[in-house]
Chain A
């Protein structure tokens, strides 16, 4: 990858040991990552992130604006990002649905922005104050057409902080919207959050173009497939559009250009997937059963895994940090060695479907589904692990 790194701007970094909830930790992660623009609309259970940002940004230097809705919020982020700032918003299900239109625009214009979705039970207004993990497929497919995004899933306030920084870095690296897919439980859970000194936080700089002005092509892929960027006001007089476009950013309405444009949007993520994907494994080497989990559910599953081990079952854990792009390769490798996967999640099998797809039918995949409103009872996960081990 063609990546330039520097350490964080100390102005935004609240170095120290804190007791924060996940929503606050996201705001602190954003400030540490150099985010200086936040446009959002209040929605439970995500609002605390906006509140924290609104409180902190006046002393850091930047903009907080409460927009008229979530559609406007993402539009404003894209504008701000073109002006050169790192920009983010936060929301939950109903707001996330409204954001889909301009998420597509951000993908098409290849603009770095970060969006956190503090999930609650859906569909529609659903369970405003109670947890869910039902937006895991929406984040991948919610806007129309083919495109790729990156989505991360934190399981604690500490990870909310860490993964928000990672989200900004990936977003700048790939010129793509990056999502922090957390949930009400993690969002409202208070835990210790350690914020390191600024010089220990690694920040990825945007891929700024530095060549001659008249040679700049906003959509010409670099060797790592990610085009260089410029910002508004620097004299490039560039054009960008949500229409299918060529390297110049000019609309070209035909099948050939569509093929080039859309494949590029997907390839820059798909072909770089190995550089993006992160997961944590525990005792998968000799496992017969592997529990695939993410976010809050992985903490509940951990109890079930330990109980199963006590009962003599060889259980491994694969905790997904990156949800999209999905770790197909690792799932397929494991599928060749184990007896079954167990996938607990607070939805009716959204990621189980992916595990099944990646396992290519080599082993059965057992869902432990839950419609939302609360986390699993670990005993229910244990029961399925036992059944899978039979």
Chain B
């Protein structure tokens, strides 16, 4: 019997993973894999046809997700998975398009794309793995780094104000906004499932340990120490005012689902508006007749 034929030699999620690309590049103790597991479980539970689900990633450690999930998966340029997903979704509205990338990618270099996709209520799911630093390049300061944290390009500690991502997403028009840490596995899964089953711009921030860079440079211990930090310092506050969700260095992390509203998507607005103005001349787009 070949090892892959044995039950114990097989991965329970192998239908959704590119097993021919394993082992992956992530460090042991990294939180990204946990979020991938949650995503796949959410996908399985969602009842969506996986052939119609696409994953777009940008660049960075989390950017590698597109390379490991066995779906139509696109590893794009740095910061651009959101507009890439916009094109994919609009060209074939039947697709469920998920952007899976890191904080540097989505709100650092890709911040402009992020706010505009949220403003348009583009019908995509954005999963943002936030590890407070640029990890792939060796641990540089990011737009999410808490004040005081030490990173290679902030060798005396960060003094810039970081983004509060749920506040940013809500202010720009997102219809679903949640934040979890990767300790909250079941809740991450549930949020992703809800987002997959929802129409509109959904944003899920997942705070994860970067053990190799952020944690080591700040002497925060290993993955387990960080999970303990999440355990002791995160507080579930569903529906919290997103203005109050700043994260201080090793401070309290407010998690939960903050926004879950219904609003016509970009395509709904386009079809409704143009039909109203142009009447029968208008050829609706992406509407099943």
Q: Which residues of A contact B (CB under 8 A)?
A: 36-37, 39, 58-63, 65, 67-69, 71-73, 75-85, 87, 101-102, 104-105, 231-243, 250-251
| 232-289 of chain B: CB within 8 A of chain A | 266, 270, 274, 278, 281-285
Taking a contact as CB atoms under 8 Å apart, the answer to whether A239 and B67 are in contact is yes
Taking a contact as CB atoms under 8 Å apart, the answer to whether A236 and B84 are in contact is no
Taking a contact as CB atoms under 8 Å apart, the answer to whether A63 and B72 are in contact is no
Q: Does B135 contact A (CB under 8 A)?
A: no
Q: Does B76 contact A (CB under 8 A)?
A: yes
Please, which residues of chain B bring their CB within 8 A of the CB of A62?
283, 285
Q: How far apart sit A60 and B281, CA to CA, in the bound complex (Å)?
A: 9
Q: How far apart sit A231 and B91, CA to CA, in the bound complex (Å)?
A: 11
Taking a contact as CB atoms under 8 Å apart, the answer to whether B72 and A237 are in contact is yes
Indicate which residue in B51, B74, B112 contacts A240 across the interface (CB closer than 8 Å).
B74
Q: How far apart sit A84 and B52, CA to CA, in the bound complex (Å)?
A: 14
Q: A67-B83, A79-B91, A83-B88 are in contact. Are A242 and B76 (CB under 8 A)?
A: yes
Q: Does B164 contact A (CB under 8 A)?
A: no
| 86-130 of chain B: CB within 8 A of chain A | 86-92, 94-95, 112-113, 116
Please, which residues of chain A bring their CB within 8 A of the CB of B116?
67-68, 72
A286 to chain B, nearest CB (A): 52
B228 to chain A, nearest CB (A): 35
Q: A59-B283, A87-B87 are in contact. Are A71 and B51 (CB under 8 A)?
A: no
Taking a contact as CB atoms under 8 Å apart, the answer to whether B75 and A240 are in contact is yes
Taking a contact as CB atoms under 8 Å apart, the answer to whether A79 and B18 are in contact is no
Q: What are the 5 tightest A-B residue pairs by CB atom distance, in nearest-first order?
A: A79-B87, A76-B87, A61-B283, A83-B91, A72-B83
Taking a contact as CB atoms under 8 Å apart, the answer to whether B77 and A242 are in contact is yes
Taking a contact as CB atoms under 8 Å apart, the answer to whether A232 and B83 are in contact is no
Q: How far apart sit A164 and B89, CA to CA, in the bound complex (Å)?
A: 25
Q: Does B183 contact A (CB under 8 A)?
A: no
Please, which residues of chain B bring their CB within 8 A of the CB of A236?
72
- Name the residue in A69, A73, A76, A241 with the highest tally of chain B Cβ atoms < 10 Å from its Cβ: A76
- Name the residue in A72, A77, A101 with the highest tally of chain B Cβ atoms < 10 Å from its Cβ: A72
Q: A67-B83, A72-B83 are in contact. Are A237 and B71 (CB under 8 A)?
A: yes
Please, which residues of chain A bring their CB within 8 A of the CB of B54?
232-233
Q: How far apart sit A340 and B123, CA to CA, in the bound complex (Å)?
A: 60
Q: A84-B91, A102-B80, A105-B77 are in contact. Are A63 and B285 (CB under 8 A)?
A: yes
Taking a contact as CB atoms under 8 Å apart, the answer to whether A75 and B84 are in contact is yes
Q: Does B73 contact A (CB under 8 A)?
A: yes
Q: Mark B46-84, 1 if CB is under 8 A from A, else 0.
A: 000011101010000000001100111111110010111
Please, which residues of chain B bring their CB within 8 A of the CB of A80?
87-88, 90-91
Q: Does B210 contact A (CB under 8 A)?
A: no
Please, which residues of chain A bring their CB within 8 A of the CB of B70?
237
Taking a contact as CB atoms under 8 Å apart, the answer to whether B274 and A58 are in contact is yes
Taking a contact as CB atoms under 8 Å apart, the answer to whether A242 and B51 are in contact is no
Taking a contact as CB atoms under 8 Å apart, the answer to whether A59 and B282 are in contact is yes
> What would 22 A/B residue contacts be, using CB atoms closer than 8 Å?
A58-B281, A71-B113, A72-B113, A73-B83, A75-B76, A75-B87, A78-B76, A79-B84, A79-B89, A81-B87, A83-B88, A85-B91, A231-B92, A233-B52, A233-B94, A234-B51, A237-B50, A237-B51, A240-B75, A243-B75, A250-B20, A250-B21
Taking a contact as CB atoms under 8 Å apart, the answer to whether A239 and B80 are in contact is no
Q: How far apart sit A297 and B282, CA to CA, in the bound complex (Å)?
A: 41
Taking a contact as CB atoms under 8 Å apart, the answer to whether B95 and A233 are in contact is yes
Please, which residues of chain B bring their CB within 8 A of the CB of A242?
75-77
Taking a contact as CB atoms under 8 Å apart, the answer to whether A58 and B278 are in contact is yes
Taking a contact as CB atoms under 8 Å apart, the answer to whether A232 and B84 are in contact is no
Taking a contact as CB atoms under 8 Å apart, the answer to whether B95 and A75 are in contact is no
Please, which residues of chain B bring their CB within 8 A of the CB of A240?
73-75
Q: A58-B274, A80-B88, A233-B52 are in contact. Are A241 and B67 (CB under 8 A)?
A: yes
Q: Does B42 contact A (CB under 8 A)?
A: no
B273 to chain A, nearest CB (A): 10
B142 to chain A, nearest CB (A): 20
Q: How far apart sit A179 and B273, CA to CA, in the bound complex (Å)?
A: 33
Q: How far apart sit A101 and B90, CA to CA, in the bound complex (Å)?
A: 22
Taking a contact as CB atoms under 8 Å apart, the answer to whether B74 and A82 are in contact is yes
Extra contacts besides A39-B83, A82-B88 (5): CB < 8 Å = A77-B87, A233-B72, A239-B74, A240-B75, A242-B77
Q: How far apart sit A287 and B220, CA to CA, in the bound complex (Å)?
A: 78
Closest to A101 in B: B77
Q: How far apart sit A22 and B188, CA to CA, in the bound complex (Å)?
A: 52
B211 to chain A, nearest CB (A): 23
Q: Does B85 contact A (CB under 8 A)?
A: yes
- Name the residue in A36, A85, A237 with the highest tally of chain B Cβ atoms < 10 Å from its Cβ: A237
A345 to chain B, nearest CB (A): 32
Taking a contact as CB atoms under 8 Å apart, the answer to whether B285 and A79 are in contact is no
Taking a contact as CB atoms under 8 Å apart, the answer to whether B283 and A39 are in contact is no
B264 to chain A, nearest CB (A): 16
